Structure 1
Amino acid sequence: MQTATAVTQCAHCGEPCAKGEQFCCHGCQMVYELLNEHGLCNYYTLNARPGTAQRVPVRQHKFAFLEEEPIRRRLIQYEDDQQVHVTFYIPNIHCSSCLWLLENLHKVDAGVQQVNVNFSKKEARVIFIPGQTTLRKVVETLASIGYEPYISLQDLQKKKPPVNRRIFYQLGVAGFCFANIMLLSFPEYFSGEHHMDGTMSLVFRYLNLALSLPVFFFSAQPFYASAWKGLKHGFLNIDVPIVLAILVTFVRSVTDVLTGAGAGYFDSMTGIVLFMLTGRVLQDKTYKGLAFDRDYTAYFPIAVTVVKDQQEIPVQLPDVKTGDTLLIHHQELVPADGILVKGKALIDYSFVTGESAPVAKQMGEIIYAGGRQLEGNMEILTIKEVAQSYLTSLWNRDEMQNKEQKASFIHLLGRNFTWIVLFIAAVTTIYWGIYDTSKIWPAVTSILIVACPCALLLAASFTNGHTLRILSRHRLYLRNAQAIESLAGTTHIVFDKTGTLTGKARSAATWHGRALTVDEQLAIGAVGSQSQHPASRAVAAVCGKPANTEVLRFTEDTGQGLQGWAGQLHIQLGSAAYTGAKEGEGSQVHVNVNGDYAGYFLLSHTYREGIDDMLHALPYSLTLLSGDHDGDAPLLRNMMGAGADLRFRQQPHQKLDHIISLQEQGKQVLMIGDGLNDAGALKQSNTGISLTENSNNFTPASDGIMEAAQLRRLPAFIRLCKASKRVILISFAVSVLYNITGLFFAVQGKLSPLTAAILMPASSISIVLLTWALSEWAGNRLLGDDSHPRA
């Protein structure tokens, strides 16, 4: 805790205050006392004066508008009796203290359950308990501790932080001062310091000193801040050598001018800052241009059914508007918040909340994006645009652990690289201190500048980022960069059959049994249309779907069958075991009407175009796990090869067990399914890819989503992922070669600091261009031109 002794800086925010006072204003005192009351004064140990000034008090009813239901509904992303989810943009997030305090918000407001902070976006995702606190109270609590959210209902759908213009001002100052210092230094460059008028030489030197001050104290601030933050946390980041080079050059130059020993090296010092800032700006621009922060359209290549004039029209997600009526089938994901207007809803929100218990919804209630329908078809009236960022955040929720594993060696490299650079600089100083002291400064300064792991660190992230873009152009959407390496390391591939190797839309069904009445046929079609399983859709296509027939008490036993009431008829569709029928040959969907066996539909599947060639091109051991009959076994044996393991009549738990057994044998398993009966197997496999075909059957268990028509390109996709690893290795080799070459000349004192300052950002940009060019070349060679550009 702070003592009551007289200070000139506020104990909370560090701003000047009256002598003898501990706080600059009542607001800062209130925040300090609030943190002290809840045992959160460790906040002040993380950074010196981490608080935000509270001189402008929040007026009493400023956030009363958050109690208005229409406004509240627009802000909230999910709500039930147990928890409410909302994301705020908080401009005042600026350091590790902010993260610590926000993530401990539950100690200030007991109703807050969890806070997750995205530091780069300055966003905080808050989960609170509705019975213990309110949206207004949460916002008021945030404002009271100096983190008032920026709430603009007009910008709610496209909420972006303001552009940081400071770095451009710093770059402009550095460029102006560097150009003028170079101009004032020309006389000495061409005539030498002993051939100029002494008075003019002295004037030019002091002008250069004056011009260097804004660069040293203002333009170089990003490097000071980054290096200092790293040192405070015991981490030598890549900005430490740069800061040392700036300091050494500036101090040496000032000393030379003040003692009359020479003109100094202000041109080199300002050039270092200018070219480092230029490289950083260009790097950031290029990094953002590669769209690593992809929106939902990069993850969910799905269409949703919009009902218009009793017509069911498939519409791409970006085209869904507020007020559209969406038809959500059984097991489909809800893509946008909406009000239930038809049917019954039993929603699985485990993707959103982690709770596995489904939630029943009645007519007129809100259903939130991210839920999965478990009780037949329903229709919702959308009240928000498709929840882009929210669905993306849910999809990426499990990504962080993989990223840490992936990036750990990169951080280790960066940390050790700085120590190596400092060690080389120290050895060089000792060597030239013994043999030629005049070479100490140019050699050491050049080493500190030229030897930087920026290019090394960029190689992997840019290569993987661009590979993700190439794959997405060809309708394979991977969750993250880790999935690229996982896919490249595949040694065994497991396929589902129905809906994966066979096309859903091309399945045909023929009836074998007693004659069906018109009502029975329509009832069978109505119940079958509730499911997205290919067999059910084939049956519904034959029987037709009445527009106004409501299906009640619909249930589906995954991998077995489904049942429900259509009018006065109870319909059961499914396997022989599910309906109590006798097992037959071929793919059959057996039918019970009001408990009596009526017959079966015999399905004839059409395999997807190019599947035969694709299977023959895969140089891996293959397995087929199908819940279907083994009638196609001879054909599949011919397509997949004599060594393939074909397993039929597989239940979901059997598919999962087989994946586990393959992994126990040390195999890297790629599982490809349609996401309906394969969720467990997809999640267990090293890489799980879910196919999608004109339906909203995206499964959160998968590592990637592939448009079904692109399955024929699977061998090329895997080869591209392997090529991506080779591109990274090539980029690493080029980066290491650059550093070794630069150090070779730097330790000899043959590389000027100014030249080193130009070469360092140039190397980073060249690595970006190299990785982009090689990745693009590999993509064009393996996948050809993109004939279906992304919308």
Structure 2
Amino acid sequence: MANTTCYHCGDDCGEDGVSFDDKSFCCHGCKTVYEIFSSNGLSAYYEIEAKAGTTPNEIRKKYDFLDNQEIVKQLVEFDEEGVQVVGLSIPSIHCSSCIWVLENLNRLHPSITVSQVDFPKKTIRVTYKTNDFSLKALVLLLGSIGYEPYISLEEFEKKQNKVDRSLIYKLGVAGFAFGNVMLLSFPEYFEVEEFWLDQYKHVFRWLMFAFSIPVVFYAGRDYYISAYKGIRSKMLNIDVPIALGIFTLFVRSTADIIFDLGSGFFDSLTGLVFFLLLGKFFQQKTYAYLSFERDYKSYFPIAVTRLEKDGKEENVQIYNINVGDRILVRSHEIIPVDCILIKGTAEIDYSFVTGESEPVMKESGEKLFAGGKQLSGVLEVEVLKTVSQSYLTQLWGNSVFTKDKASQFQTLTDSIGRRFTMAVLTIATVATIYWLIAEPSMALNVFTSVLIIACPCAIALAAPFTLGNMLRIFGKHKFYLKNTNVIERLSKIDTAIFDKTGTLTTSQKDTIYYEGIALSDEEKALLKTTLRASNHPLSRSLYNILQSNAIMTLDEFEEHTGKGIVGKANEHSIKVGSASYVGSEKSTSTTNTAVYISADEDVKGRFVFKNTYRHGIGQIFEALKEHLQLGILSGDNDGERGQLEQILPENTQMLFNQKPEDKLEFIKNLQQDHSVLMVGDGLNDAGALAQSDVGLAVSENINVFSPACDGILDATKMQWLPKFIQLSRKSISIIKLSFILSLCYNIVGLYFAVTGQLQPVIAAILMPLSSISIVVFATLATNYIGKGLKN
């Protein structure tokens, strides 16, 4: 078996190899992994990428410290009701098959419910049940299949500050070698003879060879690895021609000095790698800057109600919350921090974190974890940890509850890159064959120059830099999108649907008056306490105008989405909601929104809201109607239809008395022929926001954090929505223009390369400059069109 390779990891089996199932393995560990995959229906792992595994290590005793529950508590992100969530670093993640097997861990053990890989960071986030499973068992399972995690408490605490400096080191090595090789090449450049020919020529040439070795095998190794993985996966990525060019230059130059044919191309070789890395460093720094600028976690628009020492309630932004503060968590609000329950009955839905929809009941004194949603009643909690914005942004993008809304535009970019690479290899081969026949001495220069000059890096960079910068610009103007993919989808919408209450209307200027039997002081106190637990815009408006200061503790609270709320205390109950919900036989005609009240099942009356529409709603719809079909979905009655018809353009479709499930179904039917934008308040519209192609939640002074939405728009910027949509379309135009510029550059560069007029070192300088020029163009162009938001 000395000449066989391992079926699992590809290593040489040697004399101690193992045979099983007509296959060869280098060790019993790889054989065990193969058995695990085969017995659990994961044999497709080897079809995705042959020999893609890694050899498992003996790790069982190494992780005995995970038996200590205190250590486990420091490592897990979430631990509640038999469910834990943990993020682990997996250094051996390296290819598509790694992602596939790690995201199918639930097929290896039934206790694992979800596993999600972050490939660039080489991490995995796993949700699992702890009844017959543990963190140690998870770690050992990962180790047994060749993906041993790296766990260090010290590193765990400092991982946010960890900086990868490998590119800087490689750039330094390449720059040092390039400078010295250029210096050693001067005698050749100036054709110095005499002592050079007899004494130092060979010494200088072998010194240049020595300087090129660390450049080729260290500084440039990422290009070989990337090219190899691409070829092994049957995908021609953009690093294939680069790696081929470096390898060709090195082999040819080495042959030249061995056979004394010349000094080779070590100056071009080291210069090529140096300028490639310099371009990559610039791109990395620029994109890191853009990523930092568009990092919405520092101003995430979540408002939290903080209780002051004098009993007053104050709405504050979430990052102003400190340890020890008392905050209110209302019905259907997301718990933003780890905290201790002080008052109220907690019924927590942790499905946003774990995917498990079964609510968890908690009592006073018990710990609540960030990310849970309170289902019933208002809670008073004390903050244990300051808010982890990165955790909330991770929650926003958790694949547990978001459906795939992937755009095809990014796929188009990748497709262009692959096809371009194939075209470049074809041109390089044909041109080399021609020059081998016409003038063999020119063939190598032509081949290398074509491979270098025609790199599709510029094409690949156009989309991320354009959309990344636009994401930053949107964020500066209080329009926060989940990722760049949302901009692509936003540019393609042809239909916009709006919720009414809390979206088109504002609760800041509502005029409210009461019609009916007067409420007693006890009923007023119970009403205000019940409203205090709700997060609906009408509940918040009514709560703010009620005079009663007597806040009591509710025995029961229920919120029936789209219908109303009920609160019970001291054997009395009060209902707030629609006429049918509270038991009114008939809704009195009104041109305004009304909320009905019943106490102990007796209908008392109603609060009538004279809605105030946001400033400029008419202009917003006039601007949108030029490119979009428009519609209104409202859970209220149609009393304000006449007023809306005066404000909104003709032919605007309006549907009233819509329950949340009705809104979702309407959007789903509309999507059969249209790309739909849904704009809501993030509460009763969660289903419709998730179903739509793009879901935007409008944020006012309430907690509107909704993981179902794709973006959050500050209510004060509502009038800019048409401009935001217009800018998303212009962003796509900038990307297309970048493609055209890159294509023009490549056509010109290929002409000079194919005709032998371009030296490899010049090509190496021009290639990163072309990429940088695309980055600069995309950044300047997006900044220019972004200036329109200031008008």
Per the TM superposition, whether the score is higher than 0.5 is yes
Counterparts of 2:524 and 2:755, CA distance in 1: 89
Counterparts of 2:176 and 2:721, CA distance in 1: 54
Counterparts of 1:698 and 1:354, CA distance in 2: 18
Q: How far is the alpha carbon of 1:125 from its aligned partner?
A: 1.3
Alpha carbons 1:558, 1:677 under 8 Å: kept = yes
Q: How far is the alpha carbon of 1:175 from its aligned partner?
A: 1.3
- Amino acid of the structure 2 residue aligned with 1:583: S
Name the counterpart of 1:583.
587
Counterparts of 2:52 and 2:493, CA distance in 1: 51
How many residues are aligned here? Answer: 771
- Amino acid of the structure 1 residue aligned with 2:434: Y
The Cα offsets for residues 430-480 of structure 1, whole Å up to 9 and x where unpaired, read as 222332323212211110100011100110111111111111111111222
% identical equivalent positions: 43
Pick closer, same or farther for the CA change 1:527–1:396 going to 2, 3 Å. same
Alpha carbons 2:506, 2:614 under 8 Å: kept = yes
Alpha carbons 1:508, 1:538 under 8 Å: kept = no
Q: Secondary structure at the match of 1:370?
A: coil
Name the counterpart of 2:317.
316
Name the counterpart of 2:264.
264
Counterparts of 1:433 and 1:333, CA distance in 2: 69
Name the counterpart of 1:565.
568
- Amino acid of the structure 2 residue aligned with 1:655: K
- Amino acid of the structure 1 residue aligned with 2:573: H
The Cα offsets for residues 24-72 of structure 1, whole Å up to 9 and x where unpaired, read as xxxx97845753664579789967695468589845743343x23xx43
Name the counterpart of 2:655.
647
Q: How far is the alpha carbon of 1:290 from its aligned partner?
A: 1.8
More deviation, 750-759/286-295: 286-295
- Amino acid of the structure 1 residue aligned with 2:587: E
Q: How far is the alpha carbon of 1:212 from its aligned partner?
A: 2.1
Q: How far is the alpha carbon of 1:376 from its aligned partner?
A: 1.6
Counterparts of 1:39 and 1:489, CA distance in 2: 42
2:725 is aligned with 1:727: no
Counterparts of 1:13 and 1:621, CA distance in 2: 55
More deviation, 548-557/400-409: 400-409
- Amino acid of the structure 2 residue aligned with 1:288: A
Q: Secondary structure at the match of 2:361?
A: strand
Map 1:304-703 onto structure 2 (within 5 A): 304-309=304-309, 310-398=311-399, 401-403=404-406, 405-544=408-547, 546=549, 548-581=551-584, 582-584=586-588, 585=590, 586-618=592-624, 619=626, 620-664=628-672, 666-703=673-710
Q: Secondary structure at the match of 2:612?
A: coil
Counterparts of 2:201 and 2:62, CA distance in 1: 60
Q: Secondary structure at the match of 2:587?
A: coil
Q: How far is the alpha carbon of 1:263 from its aligned partner?
A: 1.9
Q: Secondary structure at the match of 1:777?
A: helix
Counterparts of 1:728 and 1:12, CA distance in 2: 42
Q: How far is the alpha carbon of 1:360 from its aligned partner?
A: 2.9
Alpha carbons 1:58, 1:144 under 8 Å: kept = no
- Amino acid of the structure 1 residue aligned with 2:619: D
More deviation, 549-558/613-622: 613-622
- Amino acid of the structure 1 residue aligned with 2:618: D
Q: How far is the alpha carbon of 1:748 from its aligned partner?
A: 0.6
Q: How far is the alpha carbon of 1:424 from its aligned partner?
A: 0.4
Alpha carbons 2:3, 2:12 under 8 Å: kept = no
Alpha carbons 1:322, 1:384 under 8 Å: kept = yes
Q: How far is the alpha carbon of 1:569 from its aligned partner?
A: 2.8
Counterparts of 1:296 and 1:371, CA distance in 2: 21
Q: Secondary structure at the match of 1:504?
A: strand
Pick closer, same or farther for the CA change 1:211–1:154 going to 2, 3 Å. closer
User: Can you give the 5+ residue segments of structure 1 that lack an aligned partner in the other structure?
Assistant: 786-791
Counterparts of 1:684 and 1:95, CA distance in 2: 32
Counterparts of 1:651 and 1:60, CA distance in 2: 52
Alpha carbons 1:77, 1:86 under 8 Å: kept = yes
Q: How far is the alpha carbon of 1:549 from its aligned partner?
A: 0.6
- Amino acid of the structure 2 residue aligned with 1:749: G
Name the counterpart of 2:21.
none
Q: How far is the alpha carbon of 1:357 from its aligned partner?
A: 3.8
Q: How far is the alpha carbon of 1:377 from its aligned partner?
A: 0.9
Counterparts of 1:516 and 1:401, CA distance in 2: 50
Q: How far is the alpha carbon of 1:703 from its aligned partner?
A: 1.8
Counterparts of 2:183 and 2:665, CA distance in 1: 75
More deviation, 163-172/712-721: 163-172
Q: How far is the alpha carbon of 1:392 from its aligned partner?
A: 2.5
Alpha carbons 1:106, 1:112 under 8 Å: kept = yes
Alpha carbons 2:500, 2:634 under 8 Å: kept = yes
2:185 is aligned with 1:178: no
Counterparts of 1:290 and 1:304, CA distance in 2: 29
Name the counterpart of 1:773.
780
Q: How far is the alpha carbon of 1:158 from its aligned partner?
A: 5.4
User: Can you give the 5+ residue segments of structure 2 that lack an aligned partner in the other structure?
Assistant: 19-25
Name the counterpart of 1:788.
none
2:759 is aligned with 1:752: yes
More deviation, 478-487/186-195: 186-195
Pick closer, same or farther for the CA change 1:747–1:116 going to 2, 3 Å. same
Name the counterpart of 1:242.
242
Counterparts of 2:676 and 2:105, CA distance in 1: 42
Pick closer, same or farther for the CA change 1:614–1:245 going to 2, 3 Å. same
Pick closer, same or farther for the CA change 1:656–1:35 going to 2, 3 Å. closer
More deviation, 623-632/55-64: 55-64
Alpha carbons 2:498, 2:680 under 8 Å: kept = yes
Counterparts of 1:238 and 1:487, CA distance in 2: 29
Q: How far is the alpha carbon of 1:757 from its aligned partner?
A: 0.3
Counterparts of 1:596 and 1:57, CA distance in 2: 67
2:33 is aligned with 1:35: yes
Q: How far is the alpha carbon of 1:630 from its aligned partner?
A: 3.5
Q: How far is the alpha carbon of 1:238 from its aligned partner?
A: 1.3
Q: How far is the alpha carbon of 1:20 from its aligned partner?
A: 5.8
